[in-house]
Amino acid sequence: MKTCLVVDDSSIVRKIARRILEEMDFQITEAEDGEQALEACKDAMPDAVLLDWNMPVMDGYEFLGNLRRLPGGDVPKVVFCTTENGMDHISRALHAGANEYIMKPFDKDIVAAKFQEVGLVALPEQSSI
Amino acid sequence: MNPPDYEYLRKLLKDHSGLDLSADKQYLIESRLLPLSRKCGVSGIGELVQKMRGGSSLIIAQVVEAMTTNETFFFRDRVPFEHFRDTIMPEMLKARAGRKSIRIWCAAGSTGQEPYSLAMSLKEMGAALAGWRVEIIATDLSTEVLEKSKSGIYSQFEVQRGLPIQLLVKYFKQNGELWQINPELRAMVQHRQLNLLHDFSQLGVFDILFCRNVLIYFDQDTKISIFGRLAKAMEGDGFLVLGAAETVVGLTDVFKPFPDRRGLYRPSGARAASPQAATSMPKIAAMAGR
């Protein structure tokens, strides 16, 4: 089973993301800020990170920079999931090593599409009509 | 919805657009026509049908449009676009090296996600296409969706379905909550209103034809007739791309499946059989009915 670290300071967002990702067969761990997330990655590198931008203590952007410098930190697919919906933020995130970017609000279809995009889940056999 | 209303809508849609709804598509009618009812200021589908029976051609046109508009997103199903990049275009670059021009038809262009996905794929091929002229013609039954396609403007929700973030950054411009595809890509796509039931020979001859998730709505005889006319609108060494749930097998022999590429077909060179001839062959009809 693939693992996904959900990083968001909102417990409601974490809960929604957990429900969506568990349905997609991911095993979930949670973190409330970048620092907690970094500790979690040092313990066990996840396959995926769903990452908020604005958080107390350490924000998502800083976390991403730190993650990519860790041994094995280039492995996890990092998908931002944030209300920072401007082109400038998206460009910065990609430059810092993010693999995909979800603009909030999000739903199950968007999460599934973005996780397919980075190869974390298989494509459905065929689409519905 | 009461059964007489359902039957009325089925027959009307069949006559006006060729759309062939099976008996279990109430949900589809409700999901498409309830929003339209609100838009028209009537209480529900019953009242909408009443106005249609009363002869309101405006409402009839809107109902046909609402029912025949497909859900669509960028790089939908992905596989056809991999075929386009890895199989179709390499073959076409060889086969058309003399004239250096390629014509592509999106026969159910809808709100533009498919033709613009092809346009982006072409841009991503970069130097391989330098000096080539590639035309993309997007047609659709609905003028409303064609207008949206022309504008190239999509909601935040729409640009997050199937479109890799790198391509969003590269080919779109942000305007508040909306995203517009670059003028250069918009200029690559021409738009025409077209009903596939009518003659389309004036569009000319194409090398590549995307005709996905539109023929599913037609009955067998109509499908056979459309396949016959599509084959005539294609170069002999062209490519036809159908939707994941569609096939020509058992319906017509004017196209043949391309080996090991699901959804990809080429003209076979066979002449189109008339619908009557096809239905008089019980074996073929039985296969197609599966």
* N residues, chain B: 290
**Residue B148, pLDDT above cutoff 50:** yes
CATH code, domain carrying B28: 1.10.155
- A6 phi and psi, to 5 degrees? -100, 115
Best residue in B22, B160, B215, B242 for a mutation probing chain A (most A CBs within 10 Å): B160
Residue B281 lies in a domain: no
- A103: nearest CB among B76, B160, B243: B160
A100–B164 C-beta distance less than 8 A: yes
From CA B150, how far away is CA B106, in angstroms rounded?
14
Longest distance between any two alpha carbons in chain A, whole Å: 46
On whether both B45 and B164 belong to a single domain, the answer is no
From CA B182, how far away is CA B40, in angstroms rounded?
34
Number of CB pairs < 8 Å for A and B? Answer: 50
User: How is residue A120 written in tokens?
Assistant: 């974390």
Residue B173 lies in a domain: yes
On whether both B14 and B158 belong to a single domain, the answer is no
**Residue B287, pLDDT above cutoff 60:** no
The number of C-alpha atoms within 13 Å of A111 and in the hemisphere containing its C-beta is 25
Distance from the Cα of A91 to chain B's closest Cα (Å) equals 7
What is the model's pLDDT at position B273? 57
* N residues, chain A: 129
B60 in contact with A, Cβ within 8 Å: no
User: How is residue B27 written in tokens?
Assistant: 């949900």
pLDDT band at B70 (very low <50, low <70, confident <90, very high): low
Residue B286 lies in a domain: no
B162–A129 C-beta distance less than 8 A: no
Residue B280 lies in a domain: no
CB A58 within 8 A of CB A46: no
On whether both B173 and B63 belong to a single domain, the answer is no
From CA B146, how far away is CA B169, in angstroms rounded?
24
On whether both B89 and B170 belong to a single domain, the answer is yes
Alpha carbon distance, N-terminus to C-terminus of chain A: 30
Mean local confidence (pLDDT), B110-117: 94
DSSP string, A39-68: HHHHHS--SEEEE-S--SSS-HHHHHHHHH
CB B240 within 8 A of CB B59: no
B160–A110 C-beta distance less than 8 A: yes
Q: What are the residues facing A4 on neighbouring strands?
A: A28, A48
On whether both B16 and B51 belong to a single domain, the answer is yes
- Please classify residue B215 by burial: count the beta carbons closer than 10 Å to its beta carbon, then call 0-12 exposed, 13-18 middle and 19+ buried: buried
Q: What is the pTM of this model?
A: 0.80
User: How is residue B52 written in tokens?
Assistant: 């249609």
The amino acid sitting at A28 is I
On whether both B83 and B64 belong to a single domain, the answer is no
Spans of all domains in chain A: 2-117
From CA B121, how far away is CA B259, in angstroms rounded?
23
Residue B259 lies in a domain: yes
Write down the residue that tokens 């490519």 correspond to.
Answer: B239
B244 in contact with A, Cβ within 8 Å: yes
On whether both B40 and B139 belong to a single domain, the answer is no
Task: Quick: pLDDT tens for A36-95.
Answer: 999 999 999 999 999 999 999 999 999 999 999 999 999 999 999 999 999 999 999 999
- A91: nearest CB among B156, B169, B243: B169
From CA B254, how far away is CA B230, in angstroms rounded?
9
Distance from the Cα of B99 to chain A's closest Cα (Å) equals 36
Q: What are the residues facing B242 on neighbouring strands?
A: B211
On whether both B86 and B142 belong to a single domain, the answer is yes
On whether both B43 and B121 belong to a single domain, the answer is no
On whether both B112 and B194 belong to a single domain, the answer is yes
- Last residue of one domain, picked from the residues B68, B91, B107: B68
User: How is residue B131 written in tokens?
Assistant: 């000096």
Chain B partners of A102 at a C-beta cutoff of 8 Å? 160
On whether both B88 and B180 belong to a single domain, the answer is yes
Beta strands (DSSP E) in chain A are: 2-7, 26-31, 48-51, 77-82, 100-103
pLDDT band at B279 (very low <50, low <70, confident <90, very high): very low
| Residue B85 CB partners (closer than 8 Å, separation 6+) | B121, B124, B125
- State the alpha helices, DSSP H only, in chain B: 3-17, 26-40, 45-53, 57-68, 79-83, 89-95, 113-124, 143-151, 165-171, 183-186, 220-232, 275-279, 282-288
- Last residue of one domain, picked from the residues B47, B68, B89: B68
Chain B partners of A109 at a C-beta cutoff of 8 Å? 161
- Last residue of one domain, picked from the residues B23, B42, B68: B68
Chain A partners of B245 at a C-beta cutoff of 8 Å? 126-127, 129
Pick A2-117's CATH classification: 3.90.120.10, 3.40.50.2300, 3.90.1010.20, 3.40.630.30: 3.40.50.2300
On whether both B62 and B91 belong to a single domain, the answer is no
Q: Which of A9-13, A18-22, B38-42, B66-70 shows the lowest mean pLDDT across its residues?
A: B66-70
Of residues B25 and A120, more confidence is placed in: A120
| Residue A12 CB partners (closer than 8 Å, separation 6+) | none
Task: Quick: pLDDT tens for B215-247.
Answer: 877 888 999 999 999 999 999 999 999 988 788
B177 in contact with A, Cβ within 8 Å: yes
What is the chain B residue with the closest CA to A106? B157
**Residue B248, pLDDT above cutoff 60:** yes
Structural domains in chain B (count): 2
What is the chain B residue with the closest CA to A81? B160
- Please classify residue B243 by burial: count the beta carbons closer than 10 Å to its beta carbon, then call 0-12 exposed, 13-18 middle and 19+ buried: buried
- Name the residue range of residue B24's domain: 3-68
